[in-house]
C-alpha cells in the first residue's frame, strides 16, 4: 500500500550568512501492507512529521521514490491526495465553527457535493460518537473531542490510507483507549493506518508493525514481537551503584551475556538468552568479585530495550 525508498529531506536554518543544513530525513525505506496499522516510533525531532508531510504531498522530498495506494507521489500528487487522509500533529479545528461545519467543509474541499457532504458528516458523527457536541463551537471541546473531530475529518473522503501524526499526545488514558479503538475499527474496515508516536506502549499495543526512527534514519523495523525477540530472550537489571564500571568489565566477556548497557543511575542491563540459567551465574560472578548490588530485576524486553540497543539512548528517559 505504501512503498518508500531513499526518502530524503533537509532544511536550511539560521540567520542570513550563517545558514546550516538540518538533515531531517536521511534515506528512509519503508513498506506498509494493506490493512495494516503501521507505527513510526521515534523521539522528538526524529523526522516523523517531516516524513509524513512528504508522504501527504505537503512537502517536496529532496530525493527518493514513493508509491502510495498505486499512485506515484511525484508524478501524481492529485491522485495521492484523493487516496490518503492526513491528521496533523497539532490538530486543526477552528474555534469559531462547529464540528459539523468543519466536517461538511472538509468533505466539500474534496470535491464532494453538498447533499453528499451532509450525509457523510451525519455518518461520521455517528461512527465517531460526536453527535452530542457536533453543534457546539469547537472552542468548547475537550482535547479528546477535538482529536476525534480531526480524525473524522481525515477520513471523510474515505481514503485508503490514513496518516495520523501523534494522535494521542496530550490525551488522558481513557481518551487514548477510545482513540485506539477507533483506529482498530478503521483497520477492521480495511483502511491502512500509518501513525507516529513516541509512546512505547502505543506502538506495542496498537501497531501491527513498527519502524523505529532516530535522527532521520530508520534503525529497526518489524512486528513489535519480532523486534523484542531480536534483542534477547530476557533482560536482567542489576543495581550496582558505584561499581558500575567494574561490573561492566566483569560481564563484558561472559558467554551468556549477549549485550550489556550501563545507565546513568548505576543500573547495569544484561541482555541474556535465558534468565533461569543466567541469573545464578550473574549472582555468583558478582559475589566472587565482591561487587555489592541492591536490586536484581528480571523482565521481558520492551520496545524501549530495542530502542536502547539500536540507538544507545532510552526513549523513556526523555
Partner 1 sequence: MKFLRDTWLVYQRQMLLVLRTPARLVIGFVQPITYLVLFAPLLKTALAPTGATTYAEAYRVYVPGLLVVLVLLSGFFAGFGLLAELRSGVIERSRVTPVSRPALILGRAFSEVTTLMGQAVVITVIALPFGLSVNVGWLLLAYLMLALMALMACALSYAMAMLIPSPAALGPIINAVSQPLSLLSGVLLPLTLAPAWLVGIAEWNPIYWTTNGTRALFTGSPGDPVVWQGMLIVIALAALSVFWATRMFARQIR
Ligand X SMILES: Nc1ncnc2c1ncn2[C@@H]1O[C@H](COP(=O)(O)OP(=O)(O)OP(=O)(O)O)[C@@H](O)[C@H]1O
Instruction: Single out the residue of 258, 254, 252, 255 nearest to residue 272, CA to CA.
Output: 258
For residues 42 and 64, which CB has a smaller minimum distance to Mg ion in the complex?
42
Minimum distance from residue 24 beta carbon to Mg ion (Å): 10
For partner 1, the closer CB: 159 or 216: 159
Backbone angles phi, psi at 157, to 5 degrees: -100, 15
Identity of the residue, 162 or 195, whose beta carbon is nearer to ligand X in the bound complex: 195
Q: Considering CB distances under 5 to 8 angstroms, the limit depending on partner class, which of ligand X, partner 1, Mg ion, none binds residue 85? A: partner 1
Among 7, 32, 47, 125, indicate the residue that binds ligand X (CB under 6 A): 47
Q: What is the DSSP letter of 86?
A: E
Interacting partner of 44 out of ligand X, partner 1, Mg ion, none (Cβ under 5 to 8 A depending on kind): ligand X
Q: Is 105 exposed, middle or buried (0-12, 13-18, 19+ CB in 10 A)?
A: middle
At closest approach, how far in Å is the CB of 290 from Mg ion? Answer: 48
Residue 268, SS3? strand
DSSP assigned state of 59: S
Q: Whole-number minimum distance, CB 222 to ligand X, in Å?
A: 20
Site string for ligand X, 188-227 (x = CB under 6 A): ----------x-----------------------------
Residue 106's binding partner out of Mg ion, ligand X, partner 1, none, with CB under 5 to 8 Å set by partner kind: partner 1
Grid cell 501523534 is found at 166
CB of 77 to partner 1, least distance (A): 8
Contact (CB, 8 A) for 155 and 84: no
Nearer to partner 1, 86 or 307 (CB): 86
Chosen from ligand X, partner 1, Mg ion, none, partner binding at 13 (C-beta under 5 to 8 Å by type): ligand X
Provide the sign of the torsion angle of the four alpha carbons 253, 259, 263, 266, taken in this order. negative
Q: Angle at Cα 153 formed by Cα 39 and Cα 181, nearest 5°?
A: 45
8 A C-beta contact, residue 48 and residue 42: yes
Binding of ligand X at residue 78 (CB under 6 A)?
no
46 is a site residue for ligand X (CB under 6 A): yes
Distances (CA, A) of 205 to 39, 41, 235, 302: 10, 13, 20, 12
Bridge partners of 21? 12
Tell me how many residues contact ligand X (CB under 6 A): 14
Min separation Cβ 261 and partner 1, Å: 39
Task: Return the H-helix or E-strand segment holding 188.
Answer: helix 173-188
Give which of Mg ion, ligand X, partner 1, none residue 88 binds (C-beta under 5 to 8 Å, depending on kind). Answer: partner 1
- Whether the Cβ atoms of residue 73 and residue 67 lie closer than 8 Å to each other: yes
Binding test (CB under 6 A) with ligand X, winner from 14, 45, 143, 242? 45
Task: Give the total residue count for the chain.
Answer: 318
Could you give the string, one character per residue 4-23, with x where binding to ligand X holds by CB under 6 A and - elsewhere? -------x-x--------x-
Residues that bind ligand X (CB under 6 A): 11, 13, 22, 24, 42, 44-50, 89, 198
Amino acid at each position: 500500500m505504501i512503498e518508500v525508498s531513499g526518502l530524503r529531506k533537509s532544511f536550511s536554518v539560521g540567520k542570513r550568512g550563517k545558514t546550516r543544513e538540518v538533515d531531517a530525513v536521511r534515506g528512509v525505506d519503508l513498506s506498509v501492507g494493506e490493512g495494516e496499522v503501521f507505527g513510526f516510533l521515534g523521539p522528538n525531532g526524529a523526522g516523523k512529521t517531516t516524513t509524513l508531510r512528504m508522504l501527504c504531498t505537503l512537502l517536496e522530498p529532496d530525493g527518493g521514490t514513493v508509491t502510495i495506494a498505486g499512485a506515484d507521489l511525484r508524478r501524481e500528487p492529485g491522485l495521492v491526495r484523493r487516496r490518503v487522509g492526513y491528521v496533523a500533529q497539532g490538530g486543526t479545528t477552528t474555534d469559531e465553527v462547529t464540528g459539523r461545519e468543519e466536517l461538511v467543509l472538509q468533505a466539500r474541499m474534496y470535491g464532494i457535493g453538498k447533499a453528499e457532504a451532509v450525509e457523510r458528516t451525519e455518518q461520521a458523527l455517528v461512527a465517531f460518537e460526536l453527535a452530542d457536541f457536533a453543534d457546539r463551537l469547537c472552542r468548547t471541546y475537550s482535547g479528546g473531542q477535538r482529536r476525534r473531530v480531526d480524525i473524522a475529518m481525515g477520513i471523510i473522503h474515505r481514503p485508503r490510507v490514513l496518516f495520523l501524526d501523534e494522535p494521542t499526545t496530550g490525551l488522558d488514558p481513557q481518551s487514548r483507549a477510545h482513540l485506539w479503538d477507533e483506529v482498530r475499527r478503521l483497520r477492521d474496515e480495511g483502511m491502512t493506518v500509518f501513525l507516529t508516536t513516541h509512546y512505547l506502549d502505543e506502538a506495542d499495543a496498537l501497531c501491527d508493525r513498527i519502524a523505529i526512527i532516530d535522527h532521520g534514519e530508520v534503525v529497526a523495523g518489524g512486528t513489535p514481537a519480532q523486534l523484542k525477540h531480536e534483542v534477547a530472550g530476557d533482560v536482567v537489571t542489576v543495581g550496582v551503584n558505584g561499581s558500575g564500571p567494574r561490573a561492566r568489565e566483569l560481564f563484558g566477556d561472559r558467554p551468556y551475556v549477549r549485550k550489556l548497557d550501563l545507565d546513568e543511575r548505576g543500573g547495569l542491563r544484561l541482555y541474556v538468552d535465558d534468565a533461569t540459567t543466567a541469573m545464578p551465574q550473574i549472582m555468583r560472578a558478582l559475589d566472587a568479585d565482591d561487587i555489592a548490588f541492591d536490586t536484581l530485576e528480571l523482565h521481558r524486553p520492551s520496545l524501549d530495550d530495542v530502542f536502547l540497543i539500536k540507538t544507545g539512548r532510552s526513549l523513556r528517559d526523555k
